[in-house]
Structure 1
C-alpha cells in the first residue's frame, strides 16, 4: 500500500489505560481501598448502570492474553498506571509483595513482546486512608506520594524508562473540588487551588527523587489534557475570555511542568479574589527542578468560549466560569454519544503552541479517542465495524503529521484505549477500545479499528 502520511522512524504506536479502569481484582491480591472503591460502596447510584470498579476488564488475571493482543495489533509502546493502593495498601508503609509480583510480571511480559512500558504513578486513584487525611489538600500526603514514587523507581526503574508523575492532574481538581463529578465532591475553589498546587509540588518532588537514581536512559514527565480555548470572535472581550479559560484549564499545569513557574496573570487573578494557596519556603526552586523531560498530551475536544453574558453571582462559590461562558459554534462536528465536539485541527494547534511558547518540549499524544454508546449495533459477522473510530483517528493523525512536518517535537501517538474499559462514573456506557470486551464473559474481540491500527503501525503511516 502507498503511505501518504509517513511518521518518523521509531514512532511510538500504542494505547493508554489506567489501573482502576482495567485491572479489576479490586478486593484481591492484598489491594487496599481507594476513593473509587469507597465512593462506589457509598453511592453506587452515581455510576452508570450501578457498575463499579471491582471487576472492570480483569487485566489483573488476563494481562498475558491482553499483551499478546497488543503485540498482534502493532503496539510498540503501552501506557499503564500503577495502583498506589495496590502497591502500598494504606498509601504509606509496607509494600504489598503480591502487587510487586503482578507489576513485575506485566512489565516483563510487555518487554518480552517488544512493547515498551510507559508508567503513570497517579491516575485519579487516591488511597482512601490518605483521602481521609485531606488528600492533596494535605502537604503530608505529598510526602507519602514522594515515598511511593521512590518505591516505584526502585522496584521497576531498571526496566521502565518512561515515567509520568500524574495523568490529567486538573481532572481531580475540577471533579473533586469544583464541579462534583469525582470524590470527595467538594465545591470550594480555594481548596481546589490548594489541591492543584500540592499536586504540582508532588510532581516536582517525584521528578527530583527520580533524578537521584542513576538510570541512564530514563525520562520523567507528566500527562496533561490540553484543551485549546478558542474565542467566539476576535472581539477583545471574547479574546480575554479565551485567555482566562486557558490560564485556568491549561496553563495552571502546563507552565509549571514545562517552564517551572506559574503564569503571573493567573496568580494575580487568584490573589485578587483571595484564592491563593498556602505555599512553603523553597517551593519555587523545587518547581524549577520539576521541569519535565517528556510531556504527554491528551486531546479529545476543544473548548470554545465567549465573553460573559451575565455578571457572576459573587455570593455563590468562586469559579473559573466567572471569567467566560462556553460557546457552541454553529455547524460544529459532534460525537453525539459523548456530547463532545470533534475538531481534529486542535491537535496541531496544541503542538504549535508547545513549539512556539514551550521550547518545543519533547512530547507525544498520550490519549486521543472516541467513546461510542451501544457499539453492538455495529457488529457484522461478529466484529464491531467502527469506521467512525478509524475516521476519527485518521483525521487527528493527519494534523499531527502536519505538526511534525513543521518541526514539532512529537514522538508518538497513543489511543485511548487498548480495550473497552471502565470509565469513572460512566462505567461501560461508552466504549473506547480497539478491542471489544464482553463484561459478562470477559471475551476479547478485535474491532475493525484494531486491524486498521495494525497496518498503520506496520507501515509507520497510512
Structure 2
C-alpha cells in the first residue's frame, strides 16, 4: 500500500461498541434489568423483527476470540461501555462480583494484546429501578451515577487510562423525552431539558471523583457533533442553523469543554419558560470539572432552513419550533439508512473545536455506515463492502486535512467491530468489520476488515 495520507505517530486505530448492543447475557451473570430489557419485554413490536437485547452478539461469552480478532485487524484501541445494571444491579448497593470478573477479564485480555481499553460509563442503558425514580430527571439518580463512576475508577482505574462519562448524552434526551424513540417514551421538553442538565452535572461529578482519586489517565465525554448547515446565507436560514447548533451541539459541548452553558440557550429557554431547575453550586462543579479529551461521533450533517410555518401554539414545545430540516438537492446518500454522506463534516467539526474550544485533544470515536441485507454483497464467502471502505476513506481524507491544519486529533474508531444490535433497529443495518451470523454467532471478516488492517499497519493509506 502506497501511503498518501500519513497519520501522526501513536494514532489510535480501532472501533467502538456498547454493553447492551454486544454483550448479550442480558439476564445472566447477576445482571440487573435495564430500560431496554424492560421496554422489549413490554413492547417487542417496536423492535425490528421483534429482536431484543437478550443475546445480541454474545461478547459476554466470546470476548477472548473477539479481542484476538481485533488484534488481527490492527486495533491498538477499543472502546466499550460498562453496564451500570450489570456492575451494580438496580443501580445502587452491592457490586456484582461476576460483573467485576467479566470486565477485569476483558480489560486484561485487551492489554495482553496491546489494545488500549477506552471505557465508557454510560451508553443509554439506565438501570430499570433508577428509571422508575425518574432517571436523570431525579437529582438522587445523578448522585448514584457519580457513585457508580467512582466504583468503576476504584475497580479498574489501575489499568484503564482512557475514561468517558457518557456516550451521546443528547440521544436519551431526544429519544426518551422529545421524539419517542427510546424508553420512557415521554414527550415533554421541560423534562427533556432537566435530564440534559442533570446529565452534564452527573458527568462533572464523575470527573470530580476521577480527579480526587488521582488516576493516571484522562477522562472525557463522547458527543455526536452534527454540524448544522443553513440552506442559504439568508439571515433567517443562518439564524435557524445557529439555533439548531445551540440545541443539538453546544448544549453539551460548551459545558463539557468550556464549563458553562451557552448564554443564548439559557435566554431562549428562559423566554419560553423551559429553564431546568438547578442549584448555584452545580455551576461551580460543572465549571471546575471540564473534560481532558473529547470523543466525536459523526455520521451525517444536519441541514436546516428557516421555518415555513409558525408552530402550533398548543403543540408541545420542541427545538424544531426554531428551524425546519432541509433536504439539499443532489446530496450524496446512504440509501440503506436514509442518511446523507458528507465527508467534509468531519473536517468542519475539527476546525470548530480548534477555533472555538481551545483545540481540545479529540478523536473520532464513531463513524460508520449501516447497510441492510449485506449478504447481497457476499462473494466467495466474504462480504465485499467496498462502499464501507470508500466511506471510511472519504472521512479519513478530510480528517487528515484537519490534522495538517493543526487540529489536535488523535484517532479514528469505526462503529463497530462486529455487527451488533441497534436500539430499535436490532440487526436491520449492519455496521461491523465482521459479519455476525445470528443463528450460529459465527464471525466472518468483511473486506473492510482486511483493508483497515493495512491502514493501521501503515498508519495511513
Structure 2 length normalisation: TM-score?
Answer: 1.00
Aligned to 1:392: 391
Aligned to 1:127: 127
Alignment of 1:185-200 (within 5 A): 185-200=185-200
Contact 1:305 1:327 (8 Å CA) reproduced: yes
Aligned to 1:34: 34
Q: Distance in 2 between matches of 1:410 and 1:60?
A: 31
How far apart are residue 284 of structure 1 and its match? 1.1
Q: Distance in 2 between matches of 1:281 and 1:295?
A: 26
Aligned to 2:56: 56
Contact 1:417 1:434 (8 Å CA) reproduced: yes
Aligned to 1:316: 315
Contact 1:241 1:306 (8 Å CA) reproduced: yes
Asked if residue 85 in structure 1 is aligned to residue 78 in structure 2, the reply is: no
Contact 1:207 1:289 (8 Å CA) reproduced: no
Aligned to 1:7: 7
Q: Distance in 1 between matches of 2:25 and 2:457?
A: 34
Alignment of 1:156-171 (within 5 A): 156-171=156-171
Q: Distance in 1 between matches of 2:307 and 2:284?
A: 37
Q: Distance in 2 between matches of 1:139 and 1:224?
A: 22
List per-residue Cα deviations over 1:202-235 (Å, max 9, x = no partner). Answer: 000000000011223x000000000000000000
Aligned to 2:118: 118
Q: Distance in 2 between matches of 1:225 and 1:253?
A: 10
How far apart are residue 281 of structure 1 and its match? 2.8
Q: Distance in 1 between matches of 2:214 and 2:290?
A: 18
Aligned to 1:409: 408
Q: Distance in 2 between matches of 1:288 and 1:112?
A: 38
Asked if residue 212 in structure 1 is aligned to residue 212 in structure 2, the reply is: yes
Asked if residue 446 in structure 1 is aligned to residue 449 in structure 2, the reply is: no
Q: Distance in 1 between matches of 2:315 and 2:342?
A: 33
How far apart are residue 289 of structure 1 and its match? 1.5
Aligned to 1:249: 248
Q: Distance in 1 between matches of 2:280 and 2:387?
A: 52
How far apart are residue 70 of structure 1 and its match? 0.2
Aligned to 2:335: 336
Structure 1 length normalisation: TM-score?
Answer: 1.00
Q: Distance in 2 between matches of 1:28 and 1:244?
A: 45
SS in structure 2 at match of 1:90? helix
Aligned to 2:99: 99
Contact 1:247 1:266 (8 Å CA) reproduced: yes
Q: Distance in 2 between matches of 1:123 and 1:193?
A: 19
SS in structure 1 at match of 2:90? coil
Q: Distance in 2 between matches of 1:91 and 1:289?
A: 26
Q: Distance in 2 between matches of 1:105 and 1:229?
A: 41
Q: RMSD of aligned C-alpha atoms?
A: 0.4
Q: Distance in 1 between matches of 2:247 and 2:325?
A: 14
List per-residue Cα deviations over 1:247-270 (Å, max 9, x = no partner). Answer: 000000000000000000000110
Moved over 6 A (4+): none
How far apart are residue 314 of structure 1 and its match? 1.2
Aligned to 2:293: 294
List per-residue Cα deviations over 1:140-169 (Å, max 9, x = no partner). Answer: 000100110000000000000000000000
Q: Distance in 2 between matches of 1:200 and 1:259?
A: 12
Q: Distance in 2 between matches of 1:86 and 1:316?
A: 39
Contact 1:170 1:196 (8 Å CA) reproduced: yes
Aligned to 2:424: 425
Contact 1:162 1:220 (8 Å CA) reproduced: yes
Q: Distance in 2 between matches of 1:157 and 1:65?
A: 24
Q: Distance in 2 between matches of 1:73 and 1:374?
A: 24
List per-residue Cα deviations over 1:290-342 (Å, max 9, x = no partner). Answer: 21000000000000000000000111000000000000000000001110000
Q: Distance in 1 between matches of 2:174 and 2:239?
A: 21
Aligned to 1:22: 22
Ranges in structure 2 where 5+ consecutive residues have no aligned partner = none
SS in structure 1 at match of 2:418? coil
List per-residue Cα deviations over 1:409-436 (Å, max 9, x = no partner). Answer: 0000000000000000000000000000
Ranges in structure 1 where 5+ consecutive residues have no aligned partner = none
Aligned to 1:232: 231
